[in-house]
Structure 1
Amino acid sequence: MSHPPTLNWLDAPRDDSGVEMFDETSHTYRPYTELAGAALRIAGGLVARGVPRGAVVPLLCSPGPDLVAAFYGVQAAGCVVSVLAPPARMSGEAARAHVRAVVEAVEAGTVLVDAGQYAYAADVLAGTGRDVRVLRLEELLAGDPGRRDPAELALVQFTSGSSGRPRGVRVSHAALDANTRAIRAWERAGPEDSWCSWLPMHHDMGLIGCLVVPVSGNNRLAVCRPETFLRHPLAYLSRFDANRVERPATITATPAFGLQRIVDKVGHADLEGADLSRTRAVIVGAERIDPALVARFTELTRPHGLSPRTLTPAYGLAESTLAVTGVPVEETPRTVLVHRDGLRVGAEVSLADGATERATVQVMSCGRALDGLAVEVVGEDGAPLPEGHVGELAVSGSSVADGYLAGGSADGTSFTAGRLLTRDVAFRLADEFYVLGRLGDSVKVNARSLFAEDVELMLARAGLNPSRVCVVLGEADGNPHAVAVLEELDARAAEVAEDVLAAVCPGTRRHVARVPRGAIPRTSSGKSRRRQLWQRLSQEHAFDGVPAATDGPA
């Protein structure tokens, strides 16, 4: 029986390495020898209970060692795994509807849960109208080990839904192996490297980058819940401190807002005496990276041994398993300053030198294509554009997924003629890619493209809390609109937002909407669902009810 490389660790698990789950005051640890045994017993239990080979088995489990064992146990049984988000304290009907939608989309006959999720799962699935069996991990762990030949698919990864409704991406073992191998080569990962993560394990960055990549290499992995990180990021940072832990983490990954949380909540006094010098790579992706935020993070951590070269911007998406491009580890990320007026698909970017801040935009490189992937910038006709021109990123190669589940929406990102058309806009300079934003989150004004991410960066630069701000752009009644939605911010913040919109969104009808806390819809990984918010504002006729500033007809 041949096994995919990402499953080989089950045959030779290390007893001196494993997975730790921690919070502010406690931790649990299980070596890989125990996790491999648990995974094979889970596989044996699935086989014994007649779960067909190739069946998709949704997994609803709290983050930690049990989830790791279950993830690999499903695959070792020759089944396909799909990791669901466990309910949070504030989870409501939307979370329950998502679970039902996933179960129906994958036509699941079995859902695997831990003891803590059993009652929730049984209650949620009672409303599907399907005959779905809910199996407890504890029941399977009591049986004998087993194993079957792997299915062609490894997992079904549901996209975050930041630009539309979530879609199930079919990731083969071949693509998973290729992307894992490329990431480890890019990170220069060795047997003594150690990972630490606060990312949700159901999200592609947390699942692939901070679970499959370290576990497949038998590397030590420390995990905390996202709530722990958001409440007490110092607990997470302590896992990198050689003066506090025996085996400090060397690699991690985070969206840019994770850096924001650290600089907002952690001060130099909190890090007094810390030694962060063992950290080799802080992968930053999932959203536009503000060079000013990187500077703040560097100013906080460099006195404690963290090299600026440790910050490693990257670009990826679930449709390419995870990673597509990355700045080489231990290389200082490059930034360029470009004129904002020249940013439109098909046009060549105009580099700036000393221009006023609001007439320019500083963009950080997301690095070069990873091994096994070819990345192009293409125009509206799909043809490659010359270097330095703005266009859509198109990806091909060994890490690209097999497509969406049948019935998935055709909007946005798509698989076309052997290429993945990402709907993400970028330009290439010296073989490095600079990502600007999504086509679906932009609007054309006077022949140039305006990107929501760019406007949000300017609002943050003006002092507004980026976690309380969302910018949505679109056309209504034949006019381009720019809306800054402020969540539980005061009238002074609204004045600042109006000033920024006037400076960076000329030619649009501009609105500032102050809304209650929690009114901005977000994905499970914390991204704003801009398209959903735009649709809500349109349906509620918010453009009629919110005063608009304008420069006249656009």
Structure 2
Amino acid sequence: MSPPHTLSWLDAPRDDTGVEMFDETSHTYRPYTELADAASRTSGGLIAAGVPHGAVVPLLCSTGPDLVAAFYGVQAAGCVVSVLAPPTRMSGEAARAHVRAVVTAVAADTVVVDAAHHDYAVDVLAEAGADTRVLLLEELVAGEPGRRDPAEQALIQFTSGSSGRPRGVRIGHAALDANTTAIRAWERAGRDDSWCSWLPMHHDMGLIGCLVVPVSGNNRLAVCRPETFLRHPLSYVTRFDAHRVERPATITATPAFGLQRIVDRVDHADLEGADLSGVRAVIVGAERIDPALVTRFTDLMRPHGLSSHALTPAYGLAESTLAVTGVPVEDVPRAVRVHRDDLRVGAAVSLAAGADDRETVQVMSCGRALDGLTVHVVGEDGKPLPDGHVGEMAVSGSSLADGYLADGSAEGTAFEDGRLLTRDVAFELAGEFYVLGRLGDSVKVHARSLFAEEVELMLGRAGLNLSRVCVVLGEADGRAHAVAVLEGLDARAAEVAEDVLAAACPGTRRHVARVPRGAIPRTSSGKSRRRQLWQRLSQEHAFDAAPAATDTPA
């Protein structure tokens, strides 16, 4: 195979750009010349340690420049990298079990860790009785440089597991190169662009969109830990301010939750005097985007120079390396309002005029298919549907992964006949895709589909904190059920949830469950594990025990 484009920066690293690690009060910086040397030494250390060519090497490191160097060092050694989520103060047995599951799934003989996680990794692997070497990154970097031809596979990316257990996705260098090239073309990324990210580097959006994409172009990258962003989002926003930093960021990516955190914690007084006019792209993906949240965010940022073109909704998933569709950076994102009764697979949507009401849904466009990818909306028979019809998104093209690990079979997203069936429901209008939610997170009532994401957005509009809310939908005892799970919220919030469920979920048995903080199971990237929560509620007979509302037949 020809040398992967995403590794070419190692041969010509820039000395005038690099990776910066920051928090509320401090920052450190390492140029790409230094990171390329560290990657080469990491590679040489792995070769000297006898790690075979093509071996999968899990990597457990803190967010920052060392992780960047180690990520490329593993690949430079001709090995396949899989980035593990570092533990946090909130991590418990689930995080330890995930590490053991990944090491087992990839049959890893070697794990690379930094000094901060050495003891943790040794303890976790000892619990599993695994005969796995733990190599210390700091010792690898102290050795001599080395390099081997790259393996065909670049990395194993584990899915978030929001609708099932995480699955290992096998991503080849060809797919990684193709998606990286497509993303940079879509973002119109140039030599002088600069990225900033708070996203975890083990997650596909953080790893591909905010590490591989900028690093492959030798672009400046500023990163902080997710905890820094959650505590003090203004420290992140400041990295884009031309009046406060010498080289402000121009591109970033975030789930919609990140926008919510900013509008909740940052106000106009915090931004007084700020110059955000250099921001070209705020890419928003990973979850359903509320047009009302987009309005709140742009109203906050526009007076300080942020262009209405900068907000860039997108859609993607690990099985397509990362990005599938995106709004062109020169366009203002569109939103359309459609009738709720049209939201069922195979039905044609009809656009609605006027203000918000209970019979319509406003949906934000996630843009057009990126270069090298083809997206069709298909019906239950797998055949493409006409423009404007609701169906499942099916993706084909050069960015598709090579499939799952051998133990990755499960219901849901699947590779079939050269295409990826995403299980995500959408409709297409004039070449743009409007994503509604997942088939597995919806129920049919009176021939209409209800999507958990839509109900959650309605709870957010009613004033509830969406970081403490999860909606699960499913069928039990022959009836459709809608459950709003409220984490650490009071009785008043429960009343609000009951009213929203009554409006949003007619024809279902409706439940509001108040649970303690931390009771909603989440992925390492913060998404609610809806299926796991549904199964737990079912096993605990919560539907029998909790008071339920239902519609009275006329």
Considering the TM-score relative to the shorter chain, is it more than 0.5?
yes
Q: C-alpha deviations, 1:320-358, integer Å up to 9, x for none?
A: 000000000021001100011110000001211126521
Structure 1 position 398 matched with structure 2 position 398: yes
Does the 8 Å CA contact 1:281/1:330 hold for their aligned counterparts? Answer: no
**TM-score (normalised: structure 1):** 0.99
> In the aligned structure 2, how far is the partner of 1:133 from the partner of 1:45?
14
What code does the residue aligned with 1:502 have? A
Q: Which residue of 1 aligns with 2:24?
A: 24
Q: CA deviation at 1:2?
A: 4.7
Q: Which residue of 1 aligns with 2:367?
A: 367
Q: Which residue of 1 aligns with 2:107?
A: 107
What code does the residue aligned with 2:149 have? D
Q: Which residue of 2 aligns with 1:166?
A: 166
> In the aligned structure 1, how far is the partner of 2:21 from the partner of 2:358?
44
What code does the residue aligned with 1:457 have? L
SS of the equivalent of 1:166 reads coil
Q: CA deviation at 1:552?
A: 4.2
How big is the alpha-carbon RMSD for the aligned residues of Structure 1 and Structure 2? 1.0
Within a 5 Å distance, the mapping from 1:425-436 to structure 2 comes to 425-436=425-436
Q: Which residue of 2 aligns with 1:155?
A: 155
> In the aligned structure 2, how far is the partner of 1:13 from the partner of 1:379?
48
**Pairs aligned (count):** 554
Q: C-alpha deviations, 1:367-422, integer Å up to 9, x for none?
A: 00000000000001100000000000000000000000001132110000101000
Q: C-alpha deviations, 1:38-80, integer Å up to 9, x for none?
A: 0000000000111000000000000000000000000000000
Q: Which residue of 1 aligns with 2:254?
A: 254
Q: Which residue of 2 aligns with 1:488?
A: 488
Does the 8 Å CA contact 1:114/1:138 hold for their aligned counterparts? Answer: yes
> In the aligned structure 2, how far is the partner of 1:526 from the partner of 1:271?
27
Structure 1: gaps spanning 5 or more residues: none
Does the 8 Å CA contact 1:482/1:510 hold for their aligned counterparts? Answer: yes
Q: CA deviation at 1:204?
A: 0.1
Q: Which residue of 2 aligns with 1:42?
A: 42
Within a 5 Å distance, the mapping from 1:296-335 to structure 2 comes to 296-335=296-335
Q: Which residue of 1 aligns with 2:125?
A: 125
Q: CA deviation at 1:4?
A: 0.5
> In the aligned structure 1, how far is the partner of 2:141 from the partner of 2:196?
27
Q: CA deviation at 1:468?
A: 1.1
What code does the residue aligned with 1:515 have? V
Q: Which residue of 1 aligns with 2:68?
A: 68
> In the aligned structure 2, how far is the partner of 1:75 from the partner of 1:500?
50
Q: CA deviation at 1:519?
A: 0.9
Q: C-alpha deviations, 1:111-133, integer Å up to 9, x for none?
A: 00000000000000012222100
Q: Which residue of 2 aligns with 1:443?
A: 443
SS of the equivalent of 1:348 reads coil
TM superposition outliers: structure 1 runs of 4+ over 2 Å: none
What code does the residue aligned with 2:345 have? V
Does the 8 Å CA contact 1:200/1:206 hold for their aligned counterparts? Answer: yes
Q: CA deviation at 1:553?
A: 7.0
Q: Which residue of 1 aligns with 2:545?
A: 545
Does the 8 Å CA contact 1:23/1:224 hold for their aligned counterparts? Answer: yes
What code does the residue aligned with 1:99 have? V
Q: C-alpha deviations, 1:59-109, integer Å up to 9, x for none?
A: 000000000000000000000000000010111100000000000000000
Q: Which residue of 1 aligns with 2:222?
A: 222
> In the aligned structure 2, how far is the partner of 1:470 from the partner of 1:116?
33
Does the 8 Å CA contact 1:162/1:530 hold for their aligned counterparts? Answer: yes
SS of the equivalent of 1:341 reads helix
What code does the residue aligned with 1:116 have? A
Within a 5 Å distance, the mapping from 1:139-150 to structure 2 comes to 139-150=139-150
> In the aligned structure 2, how far is the partner of 1:423 from the partner of 1:69?
35
Within a 5 Å distance, the mapping from 1:508-523 to structure 2 comes to 508-523=508-523
> In the aligned structure 2, how far is the partner of 1:270 from the partner of 1:341?
43
Does the 8 Å CA contact 1:470/1:528 hold for their aligned counterparts? Answer: yes
SS of the equivalent of 1:440 reads helix
> In the aligned structure 1, how far is the partner of 2:493 from the partner of 2:392?
34
Does the 8 Å CA contact 1:486/1:513 hold for their aligned counterparts? Answer: yes
> In the aligned structure 2, how far is the partner of 1:153 from the partner of 1:2?
13
> In the aligned structure 2, how far is the partner of 1:439 from the partner of 1:464?
25
Q: CA deviation at 1:110?
A: 0.2
> In the aligned structure 1, how far is the partner of 2:255 from the partner of 2:484?
22
What code does the residue aligned with 2:52 have? P
Q: Name which of structure 1's ranges 497-506 and 227-236 shifts more when overlaid on structure 2.
A: 497-506
What code does the residue aligned with 1:61 have? C
Q: Which residue of 1 aligns with 2:236?
A: 236
What code does the residue aligned with 2:16 have? D
Does the 8 Å CA contact 1:509/1:550 hold for their aligned counterparts? Answer: yes
What code does the residue aligned with 1:306 have? L
> In the aligned structure 1, how far is the partner of 2:497 from the partner of 2:131?
51
Structure 2: gaps spanning 5 or more residues: none
What code does the residue aligned with 2:152 have? E
> In the aligned structure 2, how far is the partner of 1:139 from the partner of 1:490?
51
What code does the residue aligned with 2:84 have? L
Does the 8 Å CA contact 1:507/1:553 hold for their aligned counterparts? Answer: no
SS of the equivalent of 1:271 reads coil
The change in CA–CA distance for 1:333 and 1:117 in structure 2 (over 3 A counts) is same
Within a 5 Å distance, the mapping from 1:270-419 to structure 2 comes to 270-354=270-354, 356-419=356-419
Within a 5 Å distance, the mapping from 1:174-185 to structure 2 comes to 174-185=174-185
> In the aligned structure 2, how far is the partner of 1:355 from the partner of 1:421?
34
Q: C-alpha deviations, 1:437-466, integer Å up to 9, x for none?
A: 000000000111000000011111111111
Does the 8 Å CA contact 1:284/1:313 hold for their aligned counterparts? Answer: yes
What code does the residue aligned with 2:85 have? A
Task: Give aligned-pair identity as a percent.
Answer: 85
What code does the residue aligned with 2:252 have? T
